[in-house]
Structure 1
């Protein structure tokens, strides 16, 4: 049966213009969304107070402390985490040619959470930086197990086998994480990472996230053209003289950096890395020179909006932001799985 594809909303001539519109327009909307995120919360604070806290901070004002110490770093962290997860998903889908690939499905986030559970047992007083390193190592372990299991069959790796292996490894690592938390009584400490969210973010988390996200973004842009060619087929990429192994290793390194940093701060937030790259490709095509930056902007926008909505569902209590993203991502994942199943 002929493979079904979604035609992007562009022509070859209009693609750069549309991508520029998405980048500029998305960034403007992102700034507005961050402003709304800072404005909205359990405490009623007006726009003038926010402006005063930024330009004329009063350390004796509770409202100023809430804005500067809680809401601003929370909104910025949500943008950085959303951008990191979206870029990770775009790179994974491009390198593996698997439309179902994403950090949450391919065992990356589950591996990070598993190693953070281990870290809470072995090093309960570890700093934020040390926890981030544990998350990096867990992301690497998760992705390595998925690729090894997916390669065991005689026919080698296929998109469907990668998705199945990723689902199995995610379930396994999540179960092991739960067992560790129950056995060593650290369930309360790890519950934040299970739920997923940015409610407890402080400036130290933003300071750790920002350089990692910037480094990952720069490397991803450097690899973008090569991944565009690699996405057309590994044999074609090799025929054009590309060193596919080096490209994949660098791409995996970027995914581990971005996902490890994001999970160490926010916990498990699924489906951003799955949904956003597909939306971006639908809008602008398959050129990763545009997909990477556009995915970053749209991913940041999605998580900032989701975090704001999570505070509106049941005020003054907060709904886990992972629940909000799952409401969008699960139907989209089922649609993709059904579409890919028809083309097997």
Structure 2
């Protein structure tokens, strides 16, 4: 499929406009509905004496920004993973990377109480790296080498294993209530410190992804083709994996284990804009941000005044999509 730069430009411009609208919707809806005029004044003319402005600035604005950042990060992570591994089933959740991040957060909560948020983010990065190393190690040493379904199966197994250990640690050391946030996945209660720490990580990582985008496009055609065109495939894979670990680790530290965004969004993006990662990466970021912002709005509205875990909403979209892909890829075993 050829790239479609004009169509991609429309998606970027239209997606950004829709993202601004989604911000207004997300900030206005909740237990206390707030009209758009108040939302505007609460953001740009903040008055700390007004309760509605406090709700907007302290609760809903960081929550909405976090949803956009996490959605963009997970979508870009999935796009890079699928590109460098040529595996259409690759995503941070299915490959066990999200579970690895949550596992190390459980370790920190149990054995390092009082760890700062920055420390938790660092542990999340470490867990993502450990899970990725285990999954790729299992896939590399399996009979027949790496195949898309084998990587997905290894990731699912490793993710389930790490999640079970995380649950055991959480129960034994009485941190289950703290860990329940990371298990369910969501951006409720997000504080400004989380957003402030994630913004530079996301910006630097996605910028590096854009620098690598041309090389990832070539790499997605196969290692032999990439080497024939002079690409340093090992270096591209290492840098791409580093970007994935940074984005996934930051996303999990903020919102927990939200699945399937990194699986679904890159496929939709490739269908819309073609195979050029110079367009896939920014378009995936926009579409991923839109999906999670609207999923968070749905989480508040489905069973109001109670909240549905955002991870459950994304799973409703992602599980059928994953089964469809697995069915098609399974024919290649």
TM-score bucket of the superposed structures, by smaller chain: over 0.9
The separation in 2 between residues aligned to 1:290 and 1:115, in whole angstroms, is 34
CA contact (8 A) 2:30 2:300 kept: yes
**Match for residue 5 of structure 1?**
none
The answer to which of 299-308 and 122-131 deviates more is: 122-131
Match for residue 314 of structure 1 among 303, 308, 315:
303
Task: Determine if contact 2:24/2:39 at 8 Å carries over to the other structure.
Answer: no
In the alignment, what sits opposite 1:26? 15
Aligned counterpart in structure 1 of residue 103 of structure 2, from 97, 106, 114: 114
Q: Does residue 45 of structure 2 align to residue 56 of structure 1?
A: yes
Equivalence for 2:184: 195
How big is the shift at 1:52? 2.3
2:313 alignment partner in structure 1:
324
Name structure 2 gaps, 5 residues minimum.
Answer: none
Cα distance in structure 1, aligned partners of 2:153 and 2:231: 29
Scaled by the length of structure 1, what TM-score is found? Answer: 0.95
Q: Is the 8 A contact 2:148 2:329 kept in 1?
A: no
Give the distance between the partners of 2:14 and 2:194, measured in 1 at CA: 27
Match of 1:128 among 100, 107, 117: 117
Instruction: Identify the residue that residue 173 of structure 1 maps to in structure 2.
Output: 162
Contiguous gaps of at least 5 residues in structure 1: 1-7
Corresponding residue number in structure 2 for 1:93: 82
CA–CA distance in structure 2, aligned partners of residues 62 and 165 of structure 1: 50
Question: What secondary structure is seen at the aligned counterpart in 2 of 1:124?
Answer: coil
Pick the aligned partner of 1:339 from 300, 320, 328. 328
CA drift of 1:54 comes to 2.2
Asked whether the equivalents of residues 24 and 36 of structure 2 are also in contact (C-alpha less than 8 Å), the reply is no
Match for residue 137 of structure 1 among 126, 129, 134: 126
Q: Could you tell me which residue of structure 2 aligns to residue 293 of structure 1?
A: 282
Is 1:267 equivalent to 2:253 in the alignment? no
Per the TM alignment, residue 44 of structure 1 is displaced from its structure 2 partner at its CA by: 2.5
In structure 2, distance between residues paired with 1:136 and 1:242: 27
Alignment deviations for residues 44-71 of structure 1 (CA, whole Å, 9 cap, x no partner): 2222222222233221221111100110
Q: Give distance in 2, aligned partners of 1:316 and 1:84.
A: 29
Q: Provide, for residues 307-339 of structure 1, a one-character-per-residue CA deviation record: whole Å limited to 9, x for no partner.
A: 001100011110000011011000100111111
Q: Post-superposition shift, 1:249?
A: 0.4
Total equivalences in the alignment: 333
1:231 aligned partner: 220
